[in-house]
Structure formats: C-alpha cells, structure tokens
Structure 1
C-alpha cells in the first residue's frame, strides 16, 4: 500500500468506507461508527470530551479510549460540580488504569472550576464552545486534507485559557471540534460524512 492510498477512505469487509485510522482496530472502528463527529450539546458531555482531549495530548486516542471508563470512575462521571469539589489527585497518581501525569490529572479540577464560572456568566461550556462553529466545514478527500487547527480553534483556545481552562491549545481544540460535530472532517466518500446532521 502506498502512502497516498493510506490517506484515502478504505472500504472494510462490511462494505463501508472509513478513514484509515478507523479501519483496522475494532475499538477505533466502533468509536468512529457510533460516536466520533456526532453532536455533543450538553455540558457534562462536552466537559468529558474536553478533559479526554486534554489527556490525549502527546498520546494516542486509542490509549485514551482504553482508559476512558477508569477516568470516568476517577472523575465522578465527569460531572463538573463533583469534579470541582475534589480536593486533590494524589490518590490517583498510583492508579495504573489512569493517565498518571500530574498536570493532566489536575486539569479536570481546574477546568471544572472554570466550567462552573461560565455558568455565572449566563452560559455553559457546551454553548460556549459551539459558539465557535465556523460558517463552513472542510471537505477533505484524503487524510492529508484534514486541518490540524483553524482560526476558530485558535480563538477558542485563547478564550478558554483566558477563562482559566488548561490543556486547551488550538490543535487540541480543533480535535474537540471534530469529535463533537462542530466541524465535519469525515473524508468525502466515507459512510459517516454528514451523519451529524450539522452540515448538510
């Protein structure tokens, strides 16, 4: 298989075309088929995705998916109110089922407090992040055509940092925007292109 072929949609044994990253691994394929790119509009759901994207920095998304249930247990189902009330993460550092990085484990606590502060401004985390939805979405033919960031993700990162959030760089925020349906970066020809209903 050439490098160019490895960037184009791949038709699986079930006859469905998927991006290369979602073809061979059952865990990633299930995530792509059922969850990735679908709209997340509730605060708790957006908070979880924001935290998971922060944990993913420098790591593979597959690893995060394998640790997701343990992270949910450690952070009270990513309930912002409960996470904001946590007194520390020392007890989590020895847990091999988690991502044992002190800064990353502290980030949900910091981000939970910032999430509660957004409520005081009369909005919530999901509404705030969706307000950065662009006027158009990419139309990638190959994986090489998928952007790693956008003007909107750069601005979102700046504004979240200004509001006290951490692990919210522009590349991480673009990945978040992809995963929650704010942009549709499904490759043209893949079976999930347009599935979110946001971009038709």
Structure 2
C-alpha cells in the first residue's frame, strides 16, 4: 500500500521511513547527508547510544527532548555533568530514562573531547576510516542492507578501546549511515543520487 501511494506521487523513498511524518522528513533531509560538524556527530552518538534495544523511531520522537536535556548537544557542557545532573535526567520523561545510557552519554562526551585532542576534530577521526570519501552502496532492496560491517566492527572496537560506551558495531553502522560516511539509500530512492552529489 505504501509503495502504491509513493508511486502515485512519483516519489520513491526507502520504505523504512514511512511510519510517520517526522520519520519521512528525517529521511528526506538528513539521513545519509555527509556530516562534517563535530557537534552534529556528537548529537547522533548520543541519540544512537540511547537507541540500543529500541527503535530509531522512538528516539527520533524524543530528539527535541534530548536537545534540551543535553544542552543542545554541547559536548563540553555534557562532559561536565555531575551526578546530580544525571539524577535530574533520570526524572526527565522527554528522554529515555536509563541510567547506563545517560551515564554513557556523559562518559562519551569526555572521550569525544579526548579524540579531538588527539586528531584535531572528531570529524577527521571518523572520516579517516574511509579516507574522507563516502562509501556509496547500490542496494536495490532493504533486505540487502547490512546491520553491521567489517568497517563498523573496526570503528566500534576502536571506540571501545578509547573508552566509549553503548556504541557497538550495529549502533556504529547506524551512525555511519546517518552521517553519510556510508550511503545506504536504495538506488530507486529519490535521495540516492542527491546524497551522492553532496560528498566533498
């Protein structure tokens, strides 16, 4: 039924985004667009680590709540959160109230800053795994899109060694997809070619 509706408007989208308007907007405007902003990378890391065991749709609906709770994803401020701040976040219904995930976000902010010190920017660090060039896939069906790859395994291991938490290979692959390091729009999706032209 969804495909029929899309064909009527001559716009084909990756079927995973068809649940609600905010999801479609995220797919149409953000997903797969190359990200070169450290703050935006940190935002996605916070949201994606919160996603563990949940759906991205659930987290997307709470995105505004996360922005408010985590100082608009200012990693310097998040890294300075105290135990009292964490306790307050545990009472905040606008986010996922999971202590381990909240503590991981604070921990990861500090490790994020450590990477900046070592690599200049987090952007340089994460894009370095693909030599600065997005990996352009040519999937024709959602069943072909992997949940994790050797690349995400490699990055997840490295992040773990650097002290990051709640960022396993599947979550890391989601990050690569979201930030355009890997382009996984289906070939028939109208965003496939648009995103392909956005790489530096």
What's the TM-score, normalizing by structure 2? 0.90
> Are the equivalent residues in 2 in contact too, given 1:143–1:187 (CA < 8 A)?
yes
Cα distance change, pair 105–181 in 1 and its aligned pair in 2 (3 A): same
**Equivalent residue of 2:109, what SS?**
helix
> Are the equivalent residues in 2 in contact too, given 1:55–1:99 (CA < 8 A)?
yes
Cα distance change, pair 123–10 in 1 and its aligned pair in 2 (3 A): farther
Of 79, 97, 105, which residue of structure 1 is paired with 2:74? 79
> Are the equivalent residues in 1 in contact too, given 2:32–2:177 (CA < 8 A)?
yes
> Are the equivalent residues in 2 in contact too, given 1:9–1:189 (CA < 8 A)?
no
Structure 2 partner of 1:192: 191
**Equivalent residue of 1:131, what SS?**
helix
Tell me, in whole angstroms, the C-alpha distance in 1 between the residues paired with 2:93 and 2:103.
16
Cα distance change, pair 189–119 in 1 and its aligned pair in 2 (3 A): same
Tell me, in whole angstroms, the C-alpha distance in 2 between the residues paired with 1:111 and 1:24.
30
Tell me, in whole angstroms, the C-alpha distance in 2 between the residues paired with 1:198 and 1:130.
15
Tell me, in whole angstroms, the C-alpha distance in 2 between the residues paired with 1:12 and 1:69.
32
**Equivalent residue of 1:193, what SS?**
helix
Once the two structures are TM-superposed, the CA of residue 23 in structure 1 deviates from its matched residue by 2.5
Deviations 1:161-185 (A, max 9, x none): 1111111111111110000001111
Structure 2 partner of 1:118: 115
Structure 1 partner of 2:16: 21
Query: Which protein is richer in helix relative to its size?
Result: 2
Tell me, in whole angstroms, the C-alpha distance in 2 between the residues paired with 1:194 and 1:78.
30
Structure 2 partner of 1:61: 56
RMSD of Structure 2 on Structure 1 (CA)? 2.2
Structure 2 partner of 1:177: 176
Segments of structure 1 that go 5 or more residues without pairing to the other structure are none
> Are the equivalent residues in 1 in contact too, given 2:65–2:94 (CA < 8 A)?
yes
Tell me, in whole angstroms, the C-alpha distance in 2 between the residues paired with 1:102 and 1:10.
42
What's the TM-score, normalizing by structure 1? 0.90
Tell me, in whole angstroms, the C-alpha distance in 2 between the residues paired with 1:30 and 1:43.
22
Tell me, in whole angstroms, the C-alpha distance in 1 between the residues paired with 2:5 and 2:182.
21
Structure 1 partner of 2:29: 34
Deviations 1:85-112 (A, max 9, x none): 1113011111111101001111111011
